[in-house]
Structure 1
Amino acid sequence: MNVTIGVDVGGTNIVCGATDEAGKVLRKLKRPTEAHAGHEAVLGRIAEMVAQIREELGAGIRVTSVGVGIPGLVDPRAGVSKFAGNLKWRDIPVADLLGDRIGLPVFIDNDVRMYIYGEAVAGAGRGYEHVLGITIGTGIAAAIVNGGELYYGHKALAGEIGHVRMDGVEEECACGLSGCLETVASASGLVRQAKKALREGRASLLNKWFPGEALERLTAADLSKAMDAGDALAADIIVRAGKLNGRALAAAASVLSPDVIVVGGGGALAGERLMAPLREELYRLLLPDFREGLKVVTAEHNDDAGIIGSSLYAAHRNGD
């Protein structure tokens, strides 16, 4: 039996898993990234994880290739991480360096593209020809899969929907622009707005739940709980985020005409609290011909989508 291994590299953790040709996860490991130790140490940790999984799979299973999803800017053809801010990587030839360590073909790409690729071919987008996917987490990013192939655009930069500037949004973004979608509509953007409003004296249940310095522990999940408890501040923030994401997706859908939009990442865990206003705004802004038949769904695999996508991407690139 032939399998591939997918690796999802994050700023905090590395997740590594082996899947079969259908994307079923057979083995999975999770380790801290410890990016401060440098790229050689991180790649060494990945190599150790790959070796452990190969050992656990046993002699009867052959690993043919490895796929790696990396945050930031990636040159997938050259196998180079061009820039990953949270890893402090710049121009790192990941595919060559890791391939030399493990003795297998290695293929890399952006982590969000790998996530959406996994959902498109083996998750919520399975069976659809034209998939537009978006992840709502610390930031917001998108990817497009048409006929089972990723769309990259010029310099492989396609998908940075989080940096679309939105009317009525003035917050400065870490990218250097202001008014970017992700400043207010990402999971971290939700939390940032809530903290600002509470410090300015806005009435909310969250004042009781997170008094004083405890406010630093506030998460997007807490906003969902507060919204369920009838909190107006939490509802305002989450509904606005849903509508803004819907507005950005309406523009993207008008250009790309997808069959399905897959919404994933931590923000998607808000469920219908965020998805209902997202769909409402999306459909309101689309022409009927674009809206007809368009499905908007949440990710099926979520936590595992990154390793599934990276693994199946490696198989695809390797011709397995």
Structure 2
Amino acid sequence: MAITIGVDVGGTNIVCGAVDETGGVLLKLKQPTEAGKGHAEVLSRIAGMVRHIRAELGAEHDAKAVTAVGVGIPGLVDPISGISRFAGNLNWRDIPVVSLLESELGIPVHIDNDVRMYVYGEAVAGAGRGIEHVLGITIGTGIAAAMVHGGQPYYGYKSMAGEIGHVRMDGVEDACSCGLNGCLETVASASGMVRQAKKALIEGRESVLGTWFPGQEIDRLTAAHLSQAMDQGDALATEIIARAGALTGQALAAAVMVLSPEAIVIGGGGALAGERLLKPLREELFRLILPDFREGLKVVTAEHNDDAGIIGSALYARHKQ
């Protein structure tokens, strides 16, 4: 049985897993990224994790059965040259990831954008399985999207397609870390929703959240707490989550009218919020698209969620051989 290894590099953790040809995860390992130690340390850690996975496969699978490694990296990635052009939360710029890892591991390595690989994993082995045109969006610390058409990821010019989190939204003026104002992710990402809640509480807005996190305790507030407060009928939490869902639906409506997907897969923390976020998202999306685009369009949550990145990276590395 041929096996490929998928690696999902995040700002906080690296997840590495052995994946079979069906997308099944045979073995998985997680370690802290520690990006502050520099790219050489991070890449050395990835190589060590891959070697550990190969050793752990042990007697059940010949180490030679591992035919390639796929690595999903945040930010701007050039899969053709194998270079990470820019990854802000890793503090990487123009890092030749493929050549460095291949010299360490001695097997082919493919790199790509992490969200593109996440959506690819869901498209070919998850919630979008069997569907020709899949648009995926991940909602977490930031927001990004990717399109898979006929089993192939869409890249666009300079491989930069998918930055839906930086679409300017009407009525939004918040400054974004990208340097623009009014980006979708300033209000609809998990961090954006938490930031709005904290601001409202500091300004004196009444909410059960203020009871849970008085004074300096506010720094412990997370997006999961917003969901819990909404379930208790809290007006502030409901308003923030509903607005996030509606604005995401607006951004997706434009993408649907341009790309005409058959399914939209929602992943990341947004998937964990469930119908709290998806109901206003779906309502706004379907309100804004033409009837012919509405017909047959599915909006579903990710099947693999936490594992989709390693599954997609591994399967695409297999596909590229």
Report the TM-score, using the length of structure 2 for normalisation.
0.98
Q: Which amino acid aligns with 1:46?
A: I
The match for 1:73 is: 76
The match for 1:185 is: 188
1:38 and 2:38 aligned: yes
Query: Which secondary structure does the structure 1 equivalent of 2:178 belong to?
Result: coil
Runs of 4+ in 1 over 6 A off after TM superposition: none
The match for 1:270 is: 273
1:196 and 2:199 aligned: yes
- Once the two structures are superposed, residues 204-261 of structure 1 have per-residue CA deviations (whole angstroms, 9 ceiling, x without a partner) of 0001000011100000000000000010000000000000000000000000000000
Q: Which amino acid aligns with 1:210?
A: F
Consecutive unaligned residues in structure 1, runs of 5 or more: none
Measured in 1, the distance between the counterparts of 2:194 and 2:232 equals: 17
1:36 positional shift: 1.1
Query: Which secondary structure does the structure 2 equivalent of 1:21 belong to?
Result: coil
The match for 1:21 is: 21
The match for 1:143 is: 146
Query: Which secondary structure does the structure 1 equivalent of 2:90 belong to?
Result: coil
Residue of structure 1 aligned with 2:168, choices 165, 168, 186: 165
Measured in 1, the distance between the counterparts of 2:209 and 2:36 equals: 34
Measured in 1, the distance between the counterparts of 2:210 and 2:49 equals: 43
1:82 positional shift: 0.2
- Once the two structures are superposed, residues 61-86 of structure 1 have per-residue CA deviations (whole angstroms, 9 ceiling, x without a partner) of 31000000001110011110000111
- Once the two structures are superposed, residues 81-136 of structure 1 have per-residue CA deviations (whole angstroms, 9 ceiling, x without a partner) of 00011111100010110011011100000100010000000000111000000000
1:37 positional shift: 1.1
Measured in 2, the distance between the counterparts of 1:37 and 1:182 equals: 28
Residue of structure 1 aligned with 2:251, choices 244, 248, 252: 248
Q: Which amino acid aligns with 1:48?
A: G
Measured in 1, the distance between the counterparts of 2:166 and 2:89 equals: 17
Aligned length: 318
The match for 2:310 is: 307
Measured in 1, the distance between the counterparts of 2:4 and 2:18 equals: 6
Measured in 2, the distance between the counterparts of 1:313 and 1:210 equals: 44
Contact 1:143–1:151 under 8 Å retained in 2: yes
1:132 and 2:135 aligned: yes
Measured in 2, the distance between the counterparts of 1:213 and 1:123 equals: 41
Contact 1:220–1:267 under 8 Å retained in 2: no
The match for 1:52 is: 52
Report the TM-score, using the length of structure 1 for normalisation.
0.99
Q: Which amino acid aligns with 2:260?
A: S
Measured in 1, the distance between the counterparts of 2:225 and 2:71 equals: 32
Measured in 1, the distance between the counterparts of 2:34 and 2:179 equals: 27
1:266 positional shift: 1.1
- Once the two structures are superposed, residues 190-215 of structure 1 have per-residue CA deviations (whole angstroms, 9 ceiling, x without a partner) of 00000000000000000100001110
Residue of structure 2 aligned with 1:121, choices 120, 124, 128: 124
1:267 positional shift: 2.1
The match for 1:82 is: 85
Residue of structure 2 aligned with 1:236, choices 239, 256, 260: 239
Contact 1:131–1:145 under 8 Å retained in 2: yes
The match for 2:103 is: 100
1:7 and 2:7 aligned: yes
Query: Which secondary structure does the structure 1 equivalent of 2:43 belong to?
Result: helix
1:165 positional shift: 0.2
Q: Which amino acid aligns with 2:11?
A: G
